[in-house]
A and B are shown apart, each in its own frame.
Chain A
């Protein structure tokens, strides 16, 4: 018999770096370190840079919150980019053309997005169509609706009269409010909205039965069903929530652009998915969390900002972002034994 003394447990920092949260944080720290080195003559150290990074990442981040719910349940939602466009167009129409007050525009827009999510969710959970296909269909459908609702043109403050001439109307107060900064110009309202979305998603995932059900469904759907989990309902709600978050993002998008662009949001779903995955939430479902997604949002947000303040042209930015996504996901890979 060999006399082996049991080795000491690995130090705490090693355990931390082996955890998904630790790795996601490491990725963010590396990106921030890169920013500190390539600081574009000190631009990276200015507070405004960070405020703008957060503002620019917010719309994607809101989408990533809903995407996290769906991905944890073992699904995927490709429709969110189109839903952003649809709700942006609807909100712009209601607020600019029809002069609806904010208390009508906001709920109506949220209903539109939630309805899209619910339908896609029902198709995938109720009719057992693969989530990729169901939400791909909704992505095309919602884009079509956005073009239909806008007549194919941007819904802006230049309103066409009956005789074909244009008149300019004021930007609705709702849009101005969302596009504002608060706390002495130090924090964008969209960032606040994003953080509220993070908090809501955290409450759902960590403090509500529904969140636990999503983890269970993503981990083992049949076991969840045989444990009495309302699988169809929980999944439909996940897609509905994703639609709801997409509607929030659509409102923010419309407010920031001061118009409803039917072409907006194209490809946003992929950015949101990348943010979730970089955070370390598993595309297989059942593992992950909103905290990880927050780290993923910051990582991609800062990466984009650092590349842009260093005047890296868009072509290079996209290529580098792709490489870094792969690198980040490689470090996230769970070691199999």
Chain B
């Protein structure tokens, strides 16, 4: 693969990196270079080895073969602290801040300024203020971190990295919890980090982001180095080809709508989750969904879409108001169990936190929601469960060593398929999909899109939440846009454009046509 001309010595140079976990080698002879003032996107499907490579750089994995140079000198980070001393800071997908501790304490965690063994609060506060101010953050650094929204927490992490004098900043899907204005802010910050001469290693699954910020791109596939190239030489179709190793005819499959009878109808539906700061998460919304139809719900963070799903699913018990009908029957459920019994299934937006029991097997997870139906008077029938799990995971093209494998050992895309299998196992007529493709690779995404097509062909009604605009526009027959718990616009498939949806999501009300 071509390696184009270099203008400066790389800050990070990794060559011949091989890493094995027992018999499985997850990286084989991988090379990677990142220069100063460069945003270097590390791309690849899930399981390609991106995280492992980063963990080697960050001193999490200390046993590997190959050579690692930081700022021209050979280095082997012994642990994360050593890596940060070498100038490498990692901003993880899941934030590593401690919620109950103050911003200042978090920034200086492990490096607290001390005098004679006692913490110098004044000095710590002052330098914490300096670092946050440099990022344009106007916050009280004495406040606990958990008081701030995810975007601010992300910036606090970056302040922490800067305070460690990091020259190499690794961002692992930093935008997964951010909304559009916050993303814009982060990208602005990345530009200023570049101007300071930092090298930024950026991992993302979002094509738009790659197009917006990448200077160079390195692609890994199945633990092997596929190539590195300047971003301008790697347009999206070619990039995807590198990532999946096959030419995709088009990025998304086309789907054919199969609308049938009205399945779900909501009238003046409001949701009041306990402990919700604004009282109602969703207020007075009315919508309907027909069998075989995909109704996309667009919106930014805080739109209330996820809360709407949880409320429909009975997770908030009686804390709802208004009327809900499923196939003409009243449908306000006191518990998820009752909702499942009435034919609703929910795919939650966070498979690890709320979707799956990672310590249980694939089969156990896939059958968890439908266990009573597979049992006789509560006594389980393992053979029947296994058959049911095989039946629901069959169409998913699941890549697991066996159905007895612990779900926690699977890759993200395969975990998502297990979560989907669990939802489908109860034979729902209404499927609530909340971010069905979050954090999974292009190939698995395509497979899930095809499954959505199959399910609608079977007459399942689908409500879909997704933060990815192309996905929303491709999959939805109709798009409903929520802004702060209210419907601001409704589009047919033909009417929906990215600009119109985003405008509505940011609060501009469109008259219904």
Contacts and interface: CB of A to CB of B under 8 A. Distances in A.
A337 B52 CA distance: 11
Contacts of B357: 215-216, 219-220, 223-224, 286
Contacts of A218: 359
Interface in B201-221: none
Given A2-B28, A10-B22, A226-B336, A209 B372 contact: yes
Interface string A300-335: 000000000000000000000000000000000000
22 contacts: A1-B29, A1-B224, A2-B16, A2-B18, A2-B28, A6-B23, A7-B23, A9-B23, A208-B375, A209-B371, A209-B372, A215-B359, A220-B354, A220-B356, A222-B354, A223-B353, A223-B357, A224-B357, A224-B368, A226-B355, A228-B340, A286-B357
Interface in B51-110: none
Interface in A204-251: 207-210, 212-213, 215-216, 218-220, 222-230
A287 B346 CA distance: 26
Contacts of A229: 337, 368
A212 B378 contact: no
Contacts of B422: 227
Interface string A1-38: 11010111110000000000000000000000000000
A209 B380 contact: yes
B337 A212 contact: no
A209 B28 CA distance: 44
Given A2-B28, A222-B353, A337-B21, A230 B337 contact: yes
Contact of A208 (B315, B348, B379, B426): B379
B357 to A, nearest CB: 4
A10 B20 CA distance: 14
Interface string B315-352: 10000000000000000000111011100001010000
Given A2-B28, A227-B336, A207 B379 contact: yes
A228 B372 CA distance: 10
Contacts of B22: 10
A126 to B, nearest CB: 14
Interface in B6-62: 16, 18, 21-23, 25, 28-29
B280 interface: no
Q: Is the interface of A mostly helix, strand, loop or mixed?
A: loop
B369 A227 contact: yes
Among B21, B339, B357, the most chain A Cβ lie within 10 Å of the Cβ of: B357
B358 interface: yes
A226 B315 contact: yes
A255 B341 CA distance: 48
A220 B352 CA distance: 9
Contacts of B359: 215, 218-220, 286-287
Contacts of B18: 2, 4
Interface of B: 16, 18, 21-23, 25, 28-29, 224, 313, 315, 335-337, 339-341, 346, 348, 353-360, 364, 368-369, 371-372, 375, 378-380, 422, 426
A1 B354 CA distance: 41
Contacts of A208: 375, 378-380
B335 A228 contact: yes
Contacts of B339: 228
Contacts of A8: 23
A226 B354 contact: yes
Given A2-B18, A10-B22, A219-B360, A225 B336 contact: yes
A290 to B, nearest CB: 15
A209 B375 contact: yes
B356 A223 contact: yes
Given A4-B28, A7-B23, A226 B380 contact: no
Interface in A256-270: none
Interface residues of A, number: 31
B67 to A, nearest CB: 13
Nearest to B382: A207
Nearest to B25: A4
Contacts of B21: 337
Nearest to B356: A223
A223 B315 CA distance: 11
A215 B360 contact: yes
Nearest to B374: A209
A280 B364 CA distance: 21
B378 A226 contact: no
A276 to B, nearest CB: 16
Contacts of B372: 209
B358 A212 contact: no
Given A212-B368, A216-B368, A287-B359, A226 B29 contact: no
Contacts of A10: 22-23
A273 B60 CA distance: 33
Contacts of B23: 6-10
The 6 closest A-B pairs by CB, nearest first: A219-B357, A228-B337, A219-B359, A286-B359, A228-B340, A227-B369
Given A209-B375, A226-B315, A219 B358 contact: yes
A223 B346 CA distance: 11
Contacts of A227: 336, 340, 368-369, 422
Contacts of A2: 16, 18, 28-29
Contacts of A212: 364, 368, 371, 380
Given A8-B23, A219-B358, 10 more contacts: A4-B25, A6-B25, A208-B380, A209-B371, A212-B368, A212-B371, A216-B360, A216-B364, A228-B339, A286-B360
A215 B364 contact: yes
B360 A226 contact: no
Contacts of B313: 226
A1 B29 CA distance: 6
Contacts of A226: 313, 315, 336, 346, 348, 354-355
A287 B360 CA distance: 8
Contacts of B368: 212, 216, 224, 227, 229
A4 B426 CA distance: 45
Contacts of A222: 353-354
Contacts of B340: 227-228
A71 to B, nearest CB: 13
A11 to B, nearest CB: 12
A241 to B, nearest CB: 14
B355 A223 contact: yes
Contacts of A225: 315, 336
A224 B285 CA distance: 29
A210 B378 contact: yes
B379 A1 contact: no
A17 B293 CA distance: 52
Contacts of B29: 1-2
Contacts of B426: 228
Nearest to A215: B360
A207 B364 CA distance: 13
Contacts of B380: 207-209, 212
Interface in A38-69: none
A224 B348 CA distance: 12
A163 B354 CA distance: 67
A337 B408 CA distance: 12
Nearest to A6: B23
Contacts of A7: 23
A86 to B, nearest CB: 30
Q: Which of A216, A222, A227, A230 has the most CB of B within 10 A?
A: A227
